[in-house]
Structure 1
Amino acid sequence: MDSHLITGNRRSLAGFAPTHFSWRQEGAVGVVTLNRPERKNPLTFESYAELRDLFRTLSQVDEVGAIVVQGAGGNFCSGGDVHEIIGPLTRMPMPDLLAFTRMTGDLVKAMRACPQPVVAAIDGVCAGAGAIMAMASDLRVGTARSKTAFLFSRVGLAGCDMGACALLPRIVGQGRASDLLYTGRSLGGEEALQWGFLNRLAEPDALSDQAVAWAAEIAAGPNFAHAMTKRMLHQEWAMGVDEAIEAEAQAQAICMMTQDFHRAYHAFVAKQRPEFKGD
């Protein structure tokens, strides 16, 4: 990118040190770890906002090609903290409640809008807003002992939280999504794999390493093209087939202008493996 376009359009996460979760970079992979293991990694008002802001920032970050989201201590995320979120919500007036639910939805919007594919590494408890974060990720690798539950009906709330009624049926189908959202029951790892909620299963001790390795494999690919694929997967939900075909024609023509496309061609001719650089 020309130097005069960099200001305001590109950012670096060098030195990034969040307050409410852990962050590290392994090569081109950014790893988010929800890190309150003594409470099964619940979310707070502050962690929602900080996660939202990170995923928004990632749209301006070139050095990260894929993201892993995981939890510490053998669990993914138990949802909103009962004492720090649920209790205060029962005392809030409607305008404050709407501000909160919009903020939580903004986290999902940010995860879907960031150009990097997001891999969720799911072990143990994955409930409520934790299940939503897993759902909002692009890919999911879990363990047989993982238990994913959209618990909203268990606390007197609708299953339509943070986009669940739009996203979950597209992953597992309308009937299965209805089952999970009406009952709030737990979806075990084996069943989640059969249903297509999980893409892969791993042993608990290998989960994080396998998720990072998968993300690294993706990040080593053509990141500009991956970002286009993610955008099209999201946008085409609201398109008819003809509109989707035209949108993909335009998107693919743009990708054909990239240096990654040209590198891949020349590497193929030379019988070499292409080195993608995301430009």
Structure 2
Amino acid sequence: MELRKIDFSCNNSIASVVLNYPKNLNALDMDMVDELLYVLKKCEEDDSVKVVVISGGPKAFSAGGDIGYFYKEMKSGNLDLDPLIAKAGSISLAIKKMLKPVISSVSGAVAGAGFNLAISCDFCIAANNTKFIQAFVNIGLIPDTGGVYLLTRAIGVQRALDLIMTGRVVSADEAYSLGLVKEVCAPEDLQKRTMEFAAKLAHGPLLAYANNKKLIFSSEYMDYERFLKDEVTAQSACAASEDFREGISAFVEKRKPSFKGR
């Protein structure tokens, strides 16, 4: 596969997956999702890869969905989110099932599906300028890419509800206090700190890591694949609503949405 929106390399047993489409702030569109699934499969199958690092740009790890594209497709009557939601969930599932450590290295905007991609990884290291946001509710949607499932298990139901129902911005320091982030550092130190940690893992007991991930998946995520199918159904219902059409229209038109609850 030709990679157009991702940079991929492997050095010293560490695979580097860089979201690199700044034109839309690394939005997880179908092309990027397909490329991510391709490189994750490649990392899983390549015995020379011991650790995977997923990163983005300094201004945005990922802004989530491409709202401008959604708006254009909605206006033309061609918008169908189901295939994208299903594939985005498959990325999170692939990371959880991968028997190798996966690290997200984030800065700037980490929004919507980008937020959930980041916390799908086994570890998240964040620059102190990172802004996490479960932005879905602001356009009348529910979290996708496993957001509800991942957050309720990571931080508890009440804290998860706060993030997903208010859509408020969460700083890197708050994300650290919630346990979503392993380490917070200065933006200029992010790559160095990430690669130091990745190198430490790459020299560790890889079989133990693999079995730890296998047991954690068995303990915490055995019904994740079923949940992701339910997530597509729920998101499809929201995407068919008047509130969603109003939400993305308001976003593009830079005004406050007027939701009607239907």
Provide the residue aligned with 2:108 in structure 1.
124
Provide the residue aligned with 2:39 in structure 1.
54
Tell me the amino acid that sits aligned with residue 111 of structure 2.
Answer: A
Tell me the amino acid that sits aligned with residue 8 of structure 2.
Answer: W
Identity, in percent, stands at 27
Query: Pick from 79, 84, 99: which aligns with 2:83?
Result: 99
Provide the residue aligned with 1:70 in structure 2.
55
Provide the residue aligned with 2:99 in structure 1.
115
Indicate whether 1:141 and 2:148 are aligned.
no
* C-alpha distance after superposition, 1:54-111 (max 9, x if no partner): 2123221111111111112332111122233564367347xx5332221111111111
Provide the residue aligned with 1:269 in structure 2.
none
Tell me the amino acid that sits aligned with residue 35 of structure 1.
Answer: N
Shift in alpha-carbon separation, 1:83–1:237, aligned structure 2, 3 A: same
Query: Pick from 7, 11, 28: which aligns with 2:13?
Result: 28
Provide the residue aligned with 2:156 in structure 1.
173
Contact 1:121 1:142 in 2 (8 A): yes
Indicate whether 1:83 and 2:68 are aligned.
yes
Could you say which structure has the greater relative contact order, defined with CA pairs below 8 angstroms and 6 or more residues apart? 2
Shift in alpha-carbon separation, 1:48–1:233, aligned structure 2, 3 A: same
Contact 1:37 1:73 in 2 (8 A): no
Contact 2:43 2:52 in 1 (8 A): no
Query: Pick from 191, 213, 219: which aligns with 2:196?
Result: 213
Give me the whole-angstrom Cα distance separating, in 2, the residues matched to 1:154 and 1:87: 18
Structure 2: which 5+ runs fail to align?
223-262
Q: Which has the larger radius of gyration?
A: 1
Q: How large is the RMSD of aligned CA atoms in angstroms?
A: 2.0
Q: How many residue pairs align between the two structures?
A: 221
What's the secondary structure of 1:100's corresponding residue? helix
Task: Flag as ranges the 4+ runs of structure 1 deviating above 6 A.
Answer: none
Shift in alpha-carbon separation, 1:179–1:225, aligned structure 2, 3 A: same
Give me the whole-angstrom Cα distance separating, in 1, the residues matched to 2:53 and 2:176: 19
Tell me the amino acid that sits aligned with residue 115 of structure 1.
Answer: L
Give me the whole-angstrom Cα distance separating, in 2, the residues matched to 1:67 and 1:179: 31
Greater mean deviation of Cα atoms: 49-58 or 198-207 = 49-58
